Structure 1
Amino acid sequence: MTKTVFNLKMLAPLAAAVISVNAGAQEVSNTGTEKQGELMETIVVTAQAANARSDIERQRDSNKVVAVQTSEAIGELPDANVTEALQRMAGVFISRDQGEGRFVGVRGIDPNLNASTINGMSLPAPETDSRAVALDVIPADLLASLEVFKTLTPDMSADSIGGAIEIKSINALDYDGQTYKVTIENGYSELQGENSPKFAGTYTNKFDVNGRTLGVAIAASHQERNFGSENIETDGVWEEFTALDGSEGITAAEIEQRDYTVTRERTGLAANFDLEIGEGQQVYLHSLYSDFSDDEQRQRNSFKLDEENDTPSSVSANSATWSDAALEKELKDRYEAQEILSLVAGGSHDMDSWGVEYALGYSHAEESEPHRRDTTFVQEGLELGYSSAGKIPQMFAADASAVDAASYELDELVIEDNYTDDEEVSLRIDFRRDIEVAGNPSELKLGLHERRREKTGDLNATIYDGFSGDYTLADFAANSIDYGLGSFGPSVSKSAINAFINANLASFEIDETSTALDSARDYVMSEDISAIYVMNDIDFGRTNLVYGVRYEATEFSGQGYRVVEAGEAIPGAVEIAEDVYVSEVEHANDYSKLFPSVNVKFDYSDNIVLRAAYTESLSRPSFGALNPSPAEIEYDEGELKVEAGNPLLDPYEARNFDASFEYYADALGMFSVGAFYKQIDNFVVTADVSSVADYSVYVGSLTVDEAEIFQPMNGDKATLSGAELSWTRGFDNGFLLRANATLTDSEADLGLGAGAERGSKVALPSQADLVANFIVGYERDALSLRLSTAYKGERLLEVDLEDEAFDLYEDTHMQVDLSAKYRFENGMQVFFNAVNLTDEPFYANRRGYNGQYEEYGPAYVLGVTYSTF
């Protein structure tokens, strides 16, 4: 791989902006007042140690087990979005896409099993399949704080087995008068050699409105990030073969080389209005808008090793050769846009011993993928294989024509237009009353919560396989790309192929069967949740007890299509193409449950806090898992490949036990150790169910010789236990150490029965056995440094129902980041961030054989901030 030596000249596009802002800052400094001097003192107070102290105090005061990060603490680390900021908390890990943090898991549990709210209202998910919200669409610049609740109280949604993530956006009433902050930065991707500019700003002020205080807070952020990755992955599983020459070994039938070039743009805007209408009386309107786009070009080599022969010529434990194979070269040209809008209007009123809070929320998320184009060229009859397997298979082509662009014929063009919409309206009313229980102060609280959600998908694909001429890759070839994981050969020119498509699309021939199969994927899923609760919060001297019960009723319905490729008519179905039949399907699943909970906090001494909790919760399966329409059906001469949902899945149900010991030092310091145990029923796992599936659901009476059918299914029972440790220590010499680790162990029963081909016991899917962070901070005068390490242990991603040796596991991941800042007395701050210093890759494997390997390279950011607070 060609590596670029990093130097500050790469960030030259930022220089003019830095000089401009610096000049403006100097002018402000020269005309400053005593009040401005006080604000400079505030900067000193809110440095690393003070930020750590603030987070610790909020954790100590909570009546639940919680991890907290304020916006100031987030700003000390090189985290560009909410997801990456959350990974620093105890027990939190993240799932990455193209090296960027997207989804958040808590205590080693699948991100889909968490609840995410912003300003008290749930967030919708723009992705087609996910219930988990990819929080990377929310810039960290818009935040006031992040909280991860690991135990629940009855006034919180029960929809959380891992943790409940609360995002609070900025509030002007938390600041003194008018403040503002401006940040300009530029990033540099070492792998791609590209720059990534970003701008962010916040403004707050308080106004007198007829004797009442109106707080106005506005935050905006825009980033254009240019980067990419290099990848090699296996499509399908590795299997044992006896080759034509009698040799024996394990090999895969298809391996892909991929090179990605990506441009992601994020625009965020928050506008919050808070009006104090009297003592203890407040109304508000909070809004957040996020726009995210992902412009991706992927060059791909697909080594179709079993294209004609289903047996290799020769095979060993580490190499294989296949004759009469095919090599496909493909360009994916995709632009994806996501939007999230959250509006919350509400208020709170204290009336002597009574109080009421209310909120009406509207959330909308959408994802559009217009005019996606996947263009494929193919060359057949090749001798292909790999000379070494393992983490990075070394692919080879014995034929010289493999690097000749003229030898690849234009084979297929797929154009997709996909749209997903997720909309929710929610209402909550909470009443509280101060009462005495046996002479002890307490608060009785009860409330009503309603959520109405609908998710729709309009998914369309047109597949062309005839092109009114004999075209080859030579007609559209680009220069060979810089690919560090092997030899890539000629690639496809985006501009040339798009010009050809735009000029000739009307003359192309459509593959009616494949088009029909790929387009009958639309769905509508609705989910209505009604909840009532009652809880009591009592103080018995040093002891705080919160207990109560929540009742939630869920009504779920899913409408979609049953798609069958068959050689004869299917009763009740409509033939939409030759031998393709479609019928509408609808499934409903209504359920309700009581969720009791108890949280106890005991202040053993001024320095020691003990906690214990028992809670019950659930997590609803992801929308992709519930989708009644199949995501993919491929049938070719007896070979069947299917990816489908299961709308009859039951929700996860959990009983959760927590206990912890927390020590708070008089100086800056904290140590905590906690234990947790979860009993989970109906866990969901995605598995290859071809050994037990009914093939006729997808192909009628057609013959199936070989099948891969991936579908989510409910397992039986699972348990998860773990320990959580957290430590913070500040020193007089300016050093600050923070460390946390969460160790988990799980066992899940697939419920396969005695006749199953494999063992029924597995780890809970997506459970990481160890999640840890270690941060070394140093601050002296105006200089601030942070070196942070985030570690995530191995976790199970996919189950093979026939052979547990070929379950897919994500390998361990440890990323090292650096942040350095220097503050000037005039309110200016210059910062430098380095992300993924050790060039940590993503790796998933089956029995040590490649599942996916991807490299992203380090990235660097240089920026400047000016603020008045």
Structure 2
Amino acid sequence: MKSTTINFQTPNTPVTALAIAVFCANNGLSANAYAQESQARTMETVTVTAQANNARSDLDRQRDSNKLVAVQTSDAIGELPDANVTEALQRMPGVFIARDQGEGRFVGVRGIDPNLNAASINGVSLPAPEIGSRAVALDVIPSDLLASLEVFKTLTPDMSADSIGGAIEIKSINALDYDGSRYKFSVENSYSELQEEHSPKYAATMTNVFDLDGNRRFGVALAVSHQQRDFGSENIETDGSWEALVAEDGSEGIGATEIEQRDYTITRERTGMAANFDLKLSSGARIYLHNLYSDFSDQEIRQRNSWKLDTERDEPETISRHSAIWEEAALEKSLKDRLEEQEIISTVLGGEHNFEQWGLAYVLGYSYAEESEPHRRDTDFVLEPLRLGYVEAGKTPRMAVDSSDAEKILDPANYQLDELVIEDNFTEDEELSLRLDFTREINWGSYDSTVQFGLHERQREKRGDLNASVYDGFAGDYTLADFVRNDINYRLDTFGPGVNPGNLNRFINRKIASFEMDETETALSSARDYQMQEDISALYVMNTIELDRAQWVFGVRYERTDFSAKGMRVIESEEPVPGADFIADEVYASAVNYQRDYDHFFPSVNFKLDYSDNIVLRAAYTESLSRPSFGHLNPSPAQIEYDDGELEVEAGNPALQPYESRNLDFSAEYYADHLGMLSLGLFHKSIDNFIVMSDVSSSADFTQYIGNLIVEEAEILQPINGKRARINGAELAWTQGFDNGFLLRANATFTDSEASLGLGPGRQRSDKISMSSQADLVGNFIVGYERDAFSLRLSAAFRSERLLEVDMEDASRDRYEEDHLQLDLSVRYHLNNGLLLTFTGVNLTDEPYYVHNSGFNGQYEEYGSTYALGLSYSTF
């Protein structure tokens, strides 16, 4: 058990590990007098718990920073059941996470969209393996490899300016933080309640420090972690939105025209490795090489029922607010068999040297990320026509079938093999960076001051290679009965027969040469490759002045961005498209090339005042930006379809301007002599050029898509820059330790936002909305208890409802993610000789994921609880 033992005499007054100095000062004692008095009296032993030590370490680093920051060290991370970086970050003030299949994936700060944050590891930016995202899915990095996590909420000129929400810095383990040789080994087995599956996890860490000639020391830190997790989820979701419909019999109601039931079986593997080498040359010089490798694979088998209620775009036969029936409907049963593999590599070579009044630091970094989907297979079986509908709406619609068709939908022989899509998709994101920082100590009168200046060069390339083969003829009359699976356990409703993946894959491998390819759909799905290059050059200068009880950090940063994009416009048209090349029946394509550059100055001021021994006041003015996501910048449109004068387009927009933000922050922090901290922070952000999806048909140039073909009706969806937005918020954080072994930590962030869309003529709705993906309230509450060898932590993480998608015409079709409250538990018992026994429970209350529009189902998903039992041995 990690603890600090203090021997002293005091009249029933407990003392914490870091309170000796305060105790002496309050009692008028010097350190020597304290020691003599302690020896002269009967000795009392007080053990300070590991939880308290970890909390104090985090608070001390927060207090000492010249920026507004939240800190979590590796020991504190290990106290809760957080398997990856994303889930560890959710415990910090102002941080929430976006989940995928119940696991934390993306990180938002201060309730703001995760795409508006920056993430780096060991000082080098992390690339994003996802096809359209700039936000990094930090769940690919195991928490076992970490030394600390820091979330910066204000910036200084020496930091990259690409952060409006927050800048996340991940630091991997460093051997020079320890003495001699240290080891840690751990094993764990987790159990998924929903799938009734067991999953193993293994991790090992080793550090060693070698004393060389003189004061030189060489440290080696190696860490490895591997987890295979078998779990799943059950889902019901609406394809499209719920909207007002009028039935054939004149009845009116809110209806949806396609509802899907989904059952997921998932195997996720995470393998992470860190190899860090640090050489201390002298007290003022060091060089280092830090390496991180992370491999993530996600094998997903998805069984799906698609209730296609309006196959002929007919009106429902009858409808009410909570029920409806269609006469010409279809039921489609599908299997998705997909392996997604992600890889992240980060290598950082750097050094720091002090030469009397001058200092030099340098970093050469290389980061690489990729995502591949090899041989993904989506197979559809269809039964039609049917009389189908639903008899309950709300969160989980309950589907209904006419009695005349009830037996028909349970017979797999009635479902015809309709379509097979085989995909091989690949995405790469690569960045090379160079950083040079110079410092010079000078005096401002009697005050110490440091001037720092430098340059930062980043060259980034994002590439996407999409390939799909679509088959719709199978040289035989095959049905679901040839591949049926009847043991699908679906708790949300009756599911019926599904697809056996093994039987289907063997059939495909044996017969694929005889399948008939849909040349049109294959060409449309495979010709949208892209390449984007983003080079950022930065110069900065800043000054840090140390006053008696205050500190100023101010300066300016200049960044220039050179952006270029290459892609393909792929058009589906019954008529030849002028200026485009014919590539398949009714498919034409033309190259897209785009280039632009822009620059910004970012002034900033950070002020810190140690108002008293217990109170720290802070104020900051900063400017920052967030560049558009790569999905929004993608030069290759997702859809261009022209048919008899009607044009439909869904496309990215390489001409988007970046978000630009002016930020004000104020905070007051109170640090108690005993373990305790109370803080209040206020922040304001004024944002220009925020981004929203819009129908730009009234202002778009149609010729860029279809040449001079005549357009009578158009719908063109594209991300555009809105006018401006503002975000106001307050942050509260409280930490309190108690003499009886209890520790309480609570934080809450309240955020309010408003965005002006700048809508054009003929729009249907107000131009004022909340910022997309912004949550009004983010909160955490943790209660810990530790006594002797036993410790416990119960945590609650809350995020309020947030807006996900904006419909530019009708606010009732906006999509919201409902509030989320998750409870997790960690219990630890320290055995003898460095052994630690752990038990964890995640999502104890089986909290679902729920998205809706106007209170009706958008997506409802359940994951169940997960429990884990682990054992570790450590000499740290």
Task: Give me the TM-score of the superposition, normalised by structure 2.
Answer: 0.92
| Percent pairwise identity | 69
Q: In the alignment, which residue of structure 2 is the partner of 1:162?
A: 165
Q: How well do the aligned residues superpose, as a CA RMSD in angstroms?
A: 1.8
Alignment of 1:648-659 (within 5 A): 648-659=655-666
CA contact (8 A) 2:570 2:639 kept: no
Q: What CA distance in whole angstroms lies between the structure 2 residues aligned with 1:853 and 1:609?
A: 45
Which one of 347, 350, 367 corresponds to residue 351 of structure 2? 347
Q: CA deviation at 1:236?
A: 1.1
Residue pair 1:599, 1:613 contacting (<8 A) in 2 also: yes
Q: 2:520 aligns with which of 502, 513, 516?
A: 513
Do residues 430 (structure 1) and 433 (structure 2) align? no
Match of 2:719 in 1: 712
Residue 295 (structure 2) pairs with residue 291 (structure 1) = yes
Deviation at 1:632, TM superposition (A): 4.5
Look up the match of 1:61. Answer: 64
**1:781-818 residue CA offsets vs partner (Å, 9 max, x unmatched):** 00000000000011111011110111001100000000
1:691/1:802 contact within 8 Å kept: no
**2:279 pairs with 275, 278, 283, which one?**
275
Q: 2:627, 2:574 → 1: CA distance?
A: 38
Q: Which residue of 1 is the match for residue 561 of structure 2? A: 554
Query: Could you tell me how far apart the structure 2 residues matched to 1:237 and 1:645 are?
Result: 22
CA 1:513/1:457 → structure 2, altered by over 3 Å: closer, same or farther? same
> Cα distance 1:833–1:687, how it changes in 2: closer, same or farther (>3 A)?
farther
Question: What secondary structure, in the 3-state scheme, does the structure 2 residue paired with 1:84 have?
Answer: helix
Structure 1 residue 238, shift from structure 2 partner: 1.5
> Structure 1: which 5+ residue stretches go unaligned?
1-42
Q: Which of the residues 318, 324, 337 maps onto 2:322?
A: 318
141-150 vs 818-827, which deviates more?
818-827
Instruction: Kindly provide the amino acid, as one letter, of the partner of residue 247 in structure 2.
Output: A
Counterpart mapping for 1:115-134 below 5 A:
115-134=118-137
Match of 2:62, SS state, is helix
Distance 1:707 1:246, change over 3 A: farther
Deviates most, 169-178 or 201-210: 201-210
1:818-863 superposed Cα distances (whole Å, 9 cap, x missing partner): 0000002310000000000010001011010111111101000100
Which residue of structure 2 aligns with residue 676 of structure 1?
683
Distance across 1 between alignment mates of 2:416 and 2:235: 24
Per the normalisation by structure 1, the TM-score is 0.93
Map of 2:155 onto structure 1? 152
> What are the ranges of 5 or more consecutive residues in structure 2 without an aligned counterpart?
1-45
Check whether the contact 2:577–2:706 (CA below 8 A) recurs between aligned residues. Answer: no
Q: Residues 330 and 640 (structure 1 numbering): CA distance in 2 closer, same or farther, change over 3 Å? A: farther
Query: Is the 1:159–1:619 Cα contact (8 Å) retained in structure 2?
Result: yes
User: What do the CA deviations read for 1:190-223 (whole angstroms, capped 9, x no partner)?
Assistant: 0000111000010000113444210000000000
Please say if residues 518 and 633 of structure 1, whose CA atoms lie closer than 8 Å, have aligned partners that are also in contact: no
Matched, 1:91 2:94: yes
SS in 2 for 1:625: helix
- Give the distance between the partners of 2:333 and 2:292, measured in 1 at CA: 42
Call closer, same or farther: CA 1:309–1:119 in 2, change over 3 Å.
closer
Shift in alpha-carbon separation, 1:70–1:708, aligned structure 2, 3 A: farther
User: Is it true that 1:491 corresponds to 2:498 in the alignment?
Assistant: yes
Aligned to 1:444: 451
The count of residues paired between Structure 1 and Structure 2 equals 827
Match of 1:574 among 568, 573, 581: 581
Q: Confirm or deny that 1:542 pairs with 2:549.
A: yes
- Residues 571 and 642 in structure 2, CA contact (< 8 A), matched pair in contact too: no
Cα deviation digits, residues 245-302 of structure 1 (max 9, x gap)? 1100111111111111000000000000000112211000000000000000001111
Contact in 1 for aligned 2:537/2:561 (Cα 8 Å)? yes
Distance 1:144 1:659 in 2: 29
Give, in whole Å, the separation in 2 of the partners of 1:296 and 1:846.
27
Q: Does 1:765 align with 2:768?
A: no
Q: Secondary structure at the match of 2:595?
A: strand
| Cα separation, 2, equivalents of 1:644 and 1:834 | 43
Tell me by how many angstroms 1:706 deviates: 9.1
Matches within 5 A, 1:370-519: 370-398=374-402, 399-400=405-406, 401-519=408-526
- Distance in 2 (CA, whole Å) between partners of 1:406 and 1:690 is 46
Offset at residue 231 of structure 1 (A):
0.7
Write out per-residue CA displacement over residues 45-83 of structure 1, whole angstroms, 9 at most, x where no aligned residue.
671000000000000000000000000000111100000
How far apart, in 1, do the equivalents of 2:428 and 2:118 lie? 19
1:653 CA drift (Å): 0.2
CA distance in 2, matches of 1:632, 1:138: 34
| Aligned twin of 1:7 | none
Match of 2:257 among 232, 240, 253: 253
| Correspondence for 2:632 | 625
Q: Aligned to 1:809, which of 777, 796, 816?
A: 816
Residue matched to 1:40: none
* Contact 1:565 1:699 (8 Å CA) reproduced: no
CA separation of 1:826 and 1:190: change in aligned 2, threshold 3 A: same
Q: Which residue of 1 aligns with 2:43?
A: none
AA matched with 1:594: F
SS in 2 for 1:442: strand
**Structure 1, residues 592-629: CA drift from partner, whole Å, max 9, x if none?**
00000000001110000100000000000111110011
Among 713, 736, 739, which residue is 1:732 paired with?
739
Partner of 2:539: 532
User: Which amino acid counterpart does residue 310 of structure 1 have in structure 2?
Assistant: D
Structure 1 Cα separation of the partners of residues 399 and 851 of structure 2: 18
- Given that residues 80 and 139 in structure 1 are in contact (C-alpha distance below 8 angstroms), is that contact kept between their aligned partners in structure 2? yes
CA displacement 1:359-411 (0-9 Å, x = unmatched): 10011111111000000011111111110111111112221211211111000
Equivalent position SS for 1:198: strand
1:844 lines up with 2:848 in the alignment: no
User: Partners of 2:676 and 2:451 in 1: how far apart?
Assistant: 34
Q: What does residue 181 of structure 1 align with?
A: 184
- The code of the aligned residue for 1:301 comes to N
d(CA) in 1 for partners of 2:711 and 2:261?
29
* Aligned-residue offset at 1:688: 5.6
Alignment correspondent of 1:197: 200
Counterpart AA for 2:254: I
Change in Cα spacing, 1:466 to 1:600, as seen in structure 2 (3 Å) is same
1:828 aligns with 2:874: no
Q: Which position in structure 1 is the counterpart of 2:784?
A: 777
Task: Give secondary structure in 2 for the equivalent of 1:800.
Answer: coil
For the 8 Å contact 2:645–2:713, the answer to whether it is kept is yes
Matched residue SS, 1:839: coil
User: For residues 641 and 858 of structure 2, what CA distance do their matches in structure 1 show?
Assistant: 21
Work out the CA distance in 2 between the residues paired with 1:307 and 1:194.
39
2:146 is equivalent to residue 143 of structure 1 = yes
CA contact (8 A) 2:564 2:594 kept: yes
1:722 and 1:356 mapped to 2: Cα distance? 38
| Contact 1:566/1:702 (<8 A) preserved | no
With 270-279 and 707-716 compared, the bigger mean Cα shift is at: 707-716
Q: Hey, what's the Cα distance between the residues in 2 that align with 1:712 and 1:236?
A: 19
Q: How many angstroms apart in 2 are the aligned matches of 1:162 and 1:222?
A: 31
2:4 counterpart residue number: none
Q: Which moved more, 1:635-644 or 1:227-236?
A: 635-644
| AA partner of residue 227 (structure 1) | F
Conserved 8 A contact 1:687-1:798: no
In 2, are the aligned partners of 1:564 and 1:700 still within 8 Å (CA)? no
Matched to 1:214, the amino acid is F
CA distance in 2 between partners of 1:294 and 1:831 (Å): 26
C-alpha separation in 2, matches of 1:439 and 1:521: 63
Shift of 1:692: 6.7
Q: Is the Cα contact below 8 Å between 1:689 and 1:801 reproduced in 2?
A: no
